[in-house]
Amino acid sequence: MNNYKKEEWEPRTNLGRMVKEGVISNIDEIFEKGLPIMELGIIDTLLPDLEEEVMDVNLVQRMHKSGRKVNFRVIVAVGNKNGYVGLGQGKAREVGPAIRKAVDDAKYNIIKVRRGCGDWGCVCGKEHTVPFKVDGKRGSVRVTLIPAPGGVGLAIGDVGKTIMKLAGVDDVWSATSGQTQTTVNFASATFDALKKLSKVKAQKKDLKNLGVCTS
């Protein structure tokens, strides 16, 4: 669904030029420095294996002085199933353009997901679950992600399950509250919880005990 091919991308920012020239070859360098990503070519170059999943397509109507206007609102999640995931929305009069806008928005919102082996009953040391309990919220919806041992799978609703799979999380317990049937809020609350995983400050030795890769 990209609007351009990778080889046709002409960077317009210093960061984009550094990525295309190979000066920056890992997206983690960008995240660690807190640099703003303003070109989709950066994401497509550094994370070329992103998969896309349409979460919801909704018809939105609003009254305007010129009459009733109808748009499609689309929610899309993207991820490489190995620690990177994004969530975005797009609106347009037709479904196709709305999906493309949502995909682009999701790429701009891409995050690195901190994974580990945080369940006390699991000592595999692999990055298969969330490293510790974390909450996410959007509107009335609250989602709590809880570390689970290997083999449990994704004990969360379908919307959350899709995001977890794209993020590369294989096992998780969860608790939810609020109007979880509202896809946009459920998806956003789950994504918010994943974002908070990286915001929690911890020493490297503690992260290693949770099976989190710190290199």
* Mean pLDDT of the 6-31 span: 90
The neighbour count for residue 34, using CB atoms within 10 Å, is 6
Predicted pLDDT at 5: 45
* Contact between residue 210 and residue 114 where contact means Cβ atoms under 8 Å apart: no
Predicted pLDDT at 125: 75
* Mean pLDDT of the 176-195 span: 95
Predicted pLDDT at 20: 93
Q: Give the pLDDT band (50/70/90) at residue 201.
A: low
Cα of first residue to Cα of last residue in the chain, in angstroms, is: 33
- Enclosing H/E stretch for 160: helix 158-167
Predicted pLDDT at 124: 78
Sign of CA dihedral 165, 167, 173, 174: negative
Chain mean pLDDT for the chain = 89
For residue 202 the two structure tokens come to 């911890």
* Mean pLDDT of the 95-117 span: 95
Please tell me the distance from the alpha carbon of residue 27 to that of residue 58, in angstroms, as a whole number.
32
pTM: 0.87
CA-based angle 161:199:186, to the nearest 5?
30
Q: Give the pLDDT band (50/70/90) at residue 215.
A: very low
Q: Give the pLDDT band (50/70/90) at residue 165.
A: very high
- Domains of the chain from N-terminus onward: 6-46 (no CATH), 134-209 (3.30.230.10)
